[in-house]
Structure 1
C-alpha cells in the first residue's frame, strides 16, 4: 500500500478496481471554492492555488469485502480539495454521476454521497478511452463527452508535487442530514502518466454553479488501481 494510506476507523466494507481514470484539473480562485464548502471544511491549496477536478473512470468488480458480487459501472465526478478542522486532507465531491441504479441508491444511503443516475458509455480505440455521460432522472441535466489516452512515461508523483496533491487522497467528505461525514479509502499509488485529451462537452461546472474556468487544463491518466473503502463516520 501507499505510504500515504491510512488504517480505517473500523473494517473495510468494499473492495473494487478503478480503471481508465482521467484526472482533468483547472485552477480556481480559493475564495470561490471556499464559499461553496460546508461548515467545517477549508479549501486546500498547492502553492496558493486551488483546483477543481473532473474525473471520469470505471468502477469495476465492486464487492462487499469477501463477497464476489462484481458490480461494475462508469462514474464521473466533479471534486475539489479540502482540509477539515483538524487539518486532515481529503476530497469534497460536488457530484458523482454513475451508470447503475442500485449503486446510486446504495451510495446515497450508505455513504451520503451526491450521486446521480447517468447513462455512461465507455469504449476503447487502442489506448484511447471514449467516455460519454448523460444524466438521467433527478438532478439538473448534465453531459460529458471526451476522449483521452496516456501520453509519455509514468510520472513520479513525489510528496509535495502537484500530481501527488491532486491524486493521492485517502479521505472524502460529504454533507448529509445536516451533518458533515468522512469516509476513508485505501489503494496503492496511482500509476500516473500525462494524458492527451479532447473534451467535446462538459456541463459539470455549470450544473454545480461554477463559471467556466479561464485557466488552461492539465491532465493525468491512470490505467487501474485496486481500492478498499471503509464506513463513513461523523466528523
Structure 2
C-alpha cells in the first residue's frame, strides 16, 4: 500500500511557481500597491509555530522561519464595477507577517497585524477577510527622493518609522533565492470567527525589487506583536515598485 502523504511537507518549487497564475473565479476588488519596503529577520521556527493555527505549518528558508515588516501605500482601492473614491481609496498600510503553508502544500502569508489609517478599510478587512487590522495614525512624505513613513497604532506607545528610496532599476527576484521566497507570495491565510482556516488569493505581476541600501527603520511593530525586538539589522532589506493587484474571495 502507498504510504500516507506527509501533510507537513513543504511546497515544491513547481507548486510555488503555479500560484503566480491568476486563479480561476471572479475577482472582487482591484488596487495598487506602491512604495513597498520589505524588511525581514530570521526567527526560530518554534517561535512562529506557537503563534499559528493548527493546519498551518511554518514555511522555512535555510532552516529558518522569517518575520517581515512591510510598510507601503494602498492606492485606487475599489470593488470591481465601482470607481475608486478619493476619500477612501488611498491609504497607508504597515503589516507584520510570516510565511506558512497548509496541509495541501500551498504556500502563503500569515499576518500578525495590519495597521491602516483608513477606518472604513479596517472594518471591511476585519469583517469580510478576517484579518487583524488596527487603526493607526500614519503619514508618508517624499522628501528629496526619500520616503519618510511613520505609523503610530491607536493606543500604541511608540511610533514606527522608516526612511527609504523607491527602486530605480528593479528586477524580479531570482528563483530559489531568499528574496524570491520572501516576496513571491500570492495567497494569504486567516481564521474566521469559528476558528476555520480560510485562504484568499491575490494576483499581480512579479515585484520589481532592488536592495534597500541606506534604509532607516524601526522594529517597534514587531514588539507590538509580542515578539522580542531584533538585536540585529534585517537580513533582507528590499524595495519594490508599484503593482496592480486583483483580489479574490476567501475560500477553503
Same fold (TM over 0.5): yes
**Residue deviations 1:178-219 (CA, integer Å, cap 9, x gap):** 2211100000010101113112x4321212111122343121
- 1:154 counterpart SS class: coil
- 1:12 counterpart SS class: coil
Cα RMSD (Å): 1.8
Partners of 2:167 and 2:240 within 8 A in 1? no
**Residue deviations 1:159-195 (CA, integer Å, cap 9, x gap):** 2111111001000001221221110000001010111
* Partner of residue 38, structure 2: 23
Supply the distance in 1 between the matched residues of 2:18 and 2:188 (Cα, whole angstroms). 18
Segments of structure 1 that go 5 or more residues without pairing to the other structure are none
Supply the distance in 1 between the matched residues of 2:164 and 2:147 (Cα, whole angstroms). 5
Larger strand fraction of residues: 1
* Partner of residue 211, structure 2: 194
* Partner of residue 22, structure 2: 7
- 1:17 counterpart SS class: strand
* Partner of residue 67, structure 2: 52
Partners of 1:62 and 1:69 within 8 A in 2? yes
TM-score when normalising by structure 1: 0.92
TM-score when normalising by structure 2: 0.86
Supply the distance in 2 between the matched residues of 1:87 and 1:215 (Cα, whole angstroms). 31
Bigger Rg, which one: 2
Partners of 1:152 and 1:194 within 8 A in 2? no
Supply the distance in 2 between the matched residues of 1:222 and 1:30 (Cα, whole angstroms). 26
Supply the distance in 2 between the matched residues of 1:37 and 1:208 (Cα, whole angstroms). 13
Supply the distance in 2 between the matched residues of 1:159 and 1:74 (Cα, whole angstroms). 29
In the comparison of the two structures, how many residue pairs are matched?
230
Instruction: List, as ranges, runs of 4+ consecutive aligned residues in structure 1 with deviation greater than 4 Å.
Output: 150-153
